[in-house]
Amino acid sequence: MKLAIRKNLINVLAFVGLIWLIYLVGLPLKVMSWDLVSYGMVPRTVRGLIGILTMPFLHDGLDHLLGNTVPLAVLLFMLATSRSNARRIVLGLIVLSGIFIWLIGISSPVVGASGLIYAMTAYLITAGLHERQLISAATAVLVGVLYGGTLFWNLLPTAGKTVAWDAHLLGAAAGAVYAHLTLRKKPTKLRDIRPSDDRNLSPSTIVE
């Protein structure tokens, strides 16, 4: 169990660390008039297609990055400890939320990991309701308690002029849809972290 927790922590830190590294690398580039934010999401444009994959890794300022770091890390860890194929789920959520935002989004350009944060939250809650499993249900409840108020507020158009509320809403929709589609066909195996069952474990830019 300790080994699994350590592995999950390393994976989460690596993911979040990559986002911080990209931000730090972008600072001197911005001074040289090469702003990485320009590679963010621009809905319904050919140039914006790259934003489907790059959007979660780009942030417009330190405050923006700091605001996303903690919820992103917590939700990634929750996902890693409750799902056996967390990496595939994260990739699927990044792609699907990006596609939704590219097709329907109204904010432009959009950067930040908030769309992924909302997608993971919706996925975990939908999975908990769908499977009626203790781990998933507890995870969903914890997500709601920790982030429910803030997450709900930022889904509304009144969240702020520089907040891509539509990207948040579409990210949440993508998370719920992804959970519904994947769990309906074949329920995702859960990681049971009880020691006695270890043998059952499977190996002014718009920001969001």
- Cα 29 from chain centre: 26
The amino acid at residue 6 is R
Contact in structure between 205 and 107 (CB atoms under 8 Å): no
Alpha-carbon gap, residue 55 to 110, rounded angstroms: 7
Question: Which residue ranges make up each domain of the chain?
Answer: 2-207
pLDDT band at 201 (very low <50, low <70, confident <90, very high): very low
Nearest Cα residue to 189 out of 202, 176, 175, 180? 202
Give the three-state DSSP class for 147: helix
Nearest Cα residue to 165 out of 157, 173, 175, 176? 157
Query: Which residues, other chains included, contact 83 with Cβ-Cβ below 8 Å and sequence gap of 6+?
Result: 89, 127, 188, 189, 190, 191
What is each CA distance from 25 to 16, 19, 34, 58, 162, in whole angstroms?
14, 10, 11, 11, 24
Q: Look at residue 62 in the predicted model and tell me its pLDDT.
A: 95
Nearest Cα residue to 51 out of 107, 110, 119, 105? 110
With a cut of 80, say whether residue 170 has pLDDT above it.
yes
Span 43-59, pLDDT tens digits: 999 999 999 999 999 99
Alpha-carbon gap, residue 117 to 191, rounded angstroms: 21
Q: Look at residue 142 in the predicted model and tell me its pLDDT.
A: 74
Phi, psi of 190 (to 5 degrees): -95, 145
User: How confident is the model over 62-75, as a mean pLDDT?
Assistant: 91
Mean pLDDT of the chain: 83
With a cut of 50, say whether residue 202 has pLDDT above it.
no
User: Which segment, 27-31, 124-128, 198-202, is predicted with the most confidence on average?
Assistant: 27-31
With a cut of 90, say whether residue 199 has pLDDT above it.
no
Contact in structure between 77 and 130 (CB atoms under 8 Å): no
With a cut of 60, say whether residue 179 has pLDDT above it.
yes
Nearest Cα residue to 205 out of 58, 102, 60? 60
CATH class of 2-207: mainly alpha
With a cut of 50, say whether residue 109 has pLDDT above it.
yes
Contact in structure between 182 and 140 (CB atoms under 8 Å): no
With a cut of 60, say whether residue 163 has pLDDT above it.
yes
User: How confident is the model over 158-166, as a mean pLDDT?
Assistant: 63
pLDDT band at 204 (very low <50, low <70, confident <90, very high): low
With a cut of 80, say whether residue 145 has pLDDT above it.
no
Locate 98 and state its tokens: 């990006």
State the pTM of this model: 0.81
Q: Look at residue 144 in the predicted model and tell me its pLDDT.
A: 64
